[in-house]
């Protein structure tokens, strides 16, 4: 016969409590129930994890499978002499490469301005498009993080910055964001910007269209088509 491990009193095998000190005993059946309870808890936990995974997959935003946006047939297409990229714009627009020389590299450190074109207007170009690249930050090289960093940078340098819209799409087979914003500087006219950001390798590409805000409605479709027309060739 077994003995109570607490006081040493001899007890029968089916005793649930020690008659001397009252210590409870776990029977074989009870021990089995404990194992079953652990097994049931494990199954429930596994089911909860499976449900969470299903919910995450079901609520994940779908990846865009839209084809490359078509370039309007009447547009002029410029391909740079090194074969790195091409851009398209309305036929009445002209290249304005001479204006790139007026942009001091020190103003935007690390940025390489590749191209500019626009509609000639009183010695300038309005509206216009500019293409630039910059090395991807060693810290931020994910698309969404890069876009958010660019926006925060614009807010810091332009107190009148206002975001109008933001759309994520696919351009040249890569994730791209098209951002529409306004700049309202004291004593200056209000400008509207349509910008496209994408990362190719470890290079960030920027395509920026600029026009006066009060003329934006006349150019809205063209500016959207221009930033979407970028083709990275190598």
| pLDDT tens per residue across span 143-167 | 999 899 888 888 888 888 999 999 9
Q: What is the pLDDT of residue 84?
A: 93
Q: What is the pLDDT of residue 173?
A: 87
User: Which residues, at least 6 apart from 96, have a Cβ–Cβ distance to it below 8 Å?
Assistant: 116, 117, 118, 125, 128
Helix (H, G, I), strand (E, B) or coil at 125: strand
E-state strands within the chain: 76-79, 85-89, 94-95, 112-121, 124-135, 162-171, 174-183, 191-200, 203-212, 231-232
Q: What is the pLDDT of residue 141?
A: 78
Identify the bridge partners of residue 170 per DSSP, sorted by sequence position: 175
| pLDDT tens per residue across span 110-136 | 788 899 999 998 878 899 999 999 888
Q: What is the pLDDT of residue 7?
A: 64
Cα four-point dihedral sign 92, 95, 96, 100: positive
Q: What is the pLDDT of residue 216?
A: 95
Helix (H, G, I), strand (E, B) or coil at 74: coil
State if pTM tops 0.85. Answer: no
Identify the bridge partners of residue 119 per DSSP, sorted by sequence position: none
CA angle (106, 111, 113) in 5-degree steps: 100
Task: Give me the helices (H) in the chain, please.
Answer: 28-59, 97-100, 143-157, 216-228
pLDDT digit string (tens) for the chain, length 234 residues: 566 665 666 767 666 656 666 555 544 444 444 555 455 545 555 555 444 444 444 444 444 445 566 889 999 999 999 999 999 999 999 998 877 766 645 445 578 889 999 999 887 889 999 999 988 876 667 899 989 988 888 888 888 899 999 999 999 889 999 999 998 877 788 999 999 999 998 899 999 999 999 999 999 999 999 999 999 998
From the list 233, 179, 183, 225, the residue with the least C-alpha distance to 206 is 179
Q: Indicate the DSSP class of residue 186.
A: T
Q: What is the pLDDT of residue 59?
A: 44
User: Which residues, at least 6 apart from 190, have a Cβ–Cβ distance to it below 8 Å?
Assistant: 182, 183, 184, 212, 213, 214
């Amino acid at each position: 016969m077994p003995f109570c491990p607490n006081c040493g009193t001899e007890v029968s095998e089916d005793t649930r409590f020690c008659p001397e000190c009252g210590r409870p005993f776990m029977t074989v059946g009870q021990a089995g129930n404990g194992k079953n309870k652990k097994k049931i808890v494990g199954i429930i936990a596994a089911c909860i994890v499976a449900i969470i995974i299903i919910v995450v997959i079901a609520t994940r935003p779908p990846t865009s499978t839209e084809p490359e946006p078509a370039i309007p047939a009447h547009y002029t297409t410029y391909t740079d002499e090194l074969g790195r990229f091409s851009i398209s714009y309305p036929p009445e627009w002209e290249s304005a490469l001479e204006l790139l020389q007026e942009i001091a590299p020190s103003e935007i450190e690390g940025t390489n301005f590749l191209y500019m074109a626009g509609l000639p207007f009183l010695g300038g170009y309005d509206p216009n498009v500019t293409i630039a690249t910059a090395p991807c930050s060693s810290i931020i090289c994910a698309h969404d993080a890069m876009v958010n960093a660019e926006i925060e940078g614009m807010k810091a340098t332009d107190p009148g910055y206002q975001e109008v819209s933001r759309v994520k799409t696919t351009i040249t087979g890569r994730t791209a964001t098209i951002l529409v914003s306004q700049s309202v500087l004291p004593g200056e006219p209000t400008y509207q910007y349509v910008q496209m950001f994408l990362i190719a390798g470890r290079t960030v590409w920027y395509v920026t269209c600029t026009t006066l805000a009060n003329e934006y409605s006349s150019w809205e479709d063209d500016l959207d088509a221009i930033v979407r027309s970028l083709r990275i060739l190598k």
